[in-house]
Amino acid sequence: MNRYSVRKYQTSDKVLWDTFVAKAKNSTFLFYRDFMEYHNHKFHDFSLLIFDDKNKLKAIFPANILEHTVYSHQGLTYGGLVFCDTLKFNTVIKLFQTLLQYLEKEHLETLIVKQIPSIYCHVPSDEQAYLMFLLEAQLLRRDLLSVVDLKAHVKFSKDRKDGVKRGKKHKLTIKEDDTFDAFWNTILIPNLEQKHQAKPVHSLEEIQQLKAKFPNNIKQFNVYHDNKIVAGTTIFITDKVAHSQYISGNYDKNLLGSLDFLHHYLITQVFANKVYFDFGISNENNGKQVNSGLQYWKEGFGARGVTQDFYKINVKNHEKLNNVLK
């Protein structure tokens, strides 16, 4: 019978960690240490590695800690236990149980898990969703992502088609921009401040640093009218998914059709060979409400719903996994 051990991540584990991320079935570039650590001053890292009795790494858990609660890393869009497709369910359940037992021995009380949406996994990876049921985990939040299946016959609504026509009429142009300065300073920051009294999750310096680390995974596309920037989007690119991390346009975006023009181009040309295009959530109020106008706009590109769940687990409930396998 295999026994597993858990220990905290150390900086000397970087190569081991990153090598594991590269081959895991439910990982993306967000789990590489260079991405996780761009904002390490904001979080107390509590990432964990799980080894078998032969000291072979079997799983990792990107995490941070706050008081007596461990979170699948709050600085990441998604998380959870990360493992390879060679592991079968009987091993996954033992690994997760080992994780909870370790947290209990560390005198911690609660684990918050932010599930990775299924579209980002390389192969089916819903084992942890089943474990949440077995552990009687509390569903804290469920978000709704708007996702376009690029392998289906994508149909745009009349409104979105009309927007594309307006973009062509106004002779808009689209350029990929590696600097981010124009979009951040001219469009994104002013819009977020005016509409939401908020700032981008990533500062200009942070997104530039991440772009330097992950040049093939982070790209910026801007729209220009008469050589003036009028809209843009920042795309995070994984193996199967192109995700709009930021979308914003200036005051005349509807008149010009700039965002329609841009996303038609991205969906039909730039990322047509991906499996999915993810517009992200339109949720507000901790997931309990949806911005109907934003949702309507995304659905006009053929986007439909994929859920992402957030769970709260009492670590002592690891005992509920004892007799699952018969």
CA distances to 21, 98, 115, 138, 261 from 93, in Å: 20, 9, 16, 18, 47
Place of tokens 């706050």: 66
State the Cα–Cα distance between residues 317 and 32, nearest whole angstrom. 30
Neighbours of 13 (CB within 10 A): 17
What is the per-residue pLDDT for 326?
86
State the Cα–Cα distance between residues 104 and 94, nearest whole angstrom. 15
State the Cα–Cα distance between residues 35 and 75, nearest whole angstrom. 10
Topology adopted by domain 5-142+308-321: Aminopeptidase (3.40.630)
pLDDT in tens, the chain (326 residues): 569 999 999 999 999 999 999 999 999 999 999 999 998 888 999 999 999 999 999 999 999 999 999 999 999 999 999 999 999 999 999 999 999 999 999 999 999 999 999 999 999 999 999 999 999 999 999 999 999 999 998 899 999 999 999 999 999 999 999 999 999 999 999 999 988 888 999 999 999 999 999 999 999 999 999 999 999 999 999 999 999 999 999 999 999 999 999 999 999 999 999 999 999 999 999 999 999 999 999 999 999 999 999 999 999 999 999 999 98
- Whether the CA torsion 61, 65, 69, 73 is positive or negative: it is negative
Rg (CA), the chain: 21
**CATH assignment, 152-274:** 3.40.630.30
State the Cα–Cα distance between residues 279 and 263, nearest whole angstrom. 10
Characterize 144-166 residue by residue with b for buried, 16 or more Cβ atoms within 10 angstroms of its Cβ, and e for exposed: bbbbbebeeebebeeebeebbeb
What is the per-residue pLDDT for 125?
93
CA distances to 24, 32, 35, 58, 217 from 21, in Å: 5, 7, 12, 11, 15
Closest CA to 214 of 38, 3, 24, 10: 38
State the Cα–Cα distance between residues 259 and 232, nearest whole angstrom. 7
Shared fold status for 5-142+308-321 and 152-274 = yes
What is the per-residue pLDDT for 211?
97
What is the per-residue pLDDT for 291?
95
What is the per-residue pLDDT for 76?
96
Closest CA to 185 of 170, 168, 205: 205
State the Cα–Cα distance between residues 92 and 31, nearest whole angstrom. 19
Quick check: 84 and 25 in contact, CB under 8 A? yes
DSSP bridge pairs for 311:
113, 139
Please report, for the chain, the start and end positions of each structural domain, with discontinuous segments joined by +: 5-142+308-321, 152-274
pTM, to two decimals: 0.95
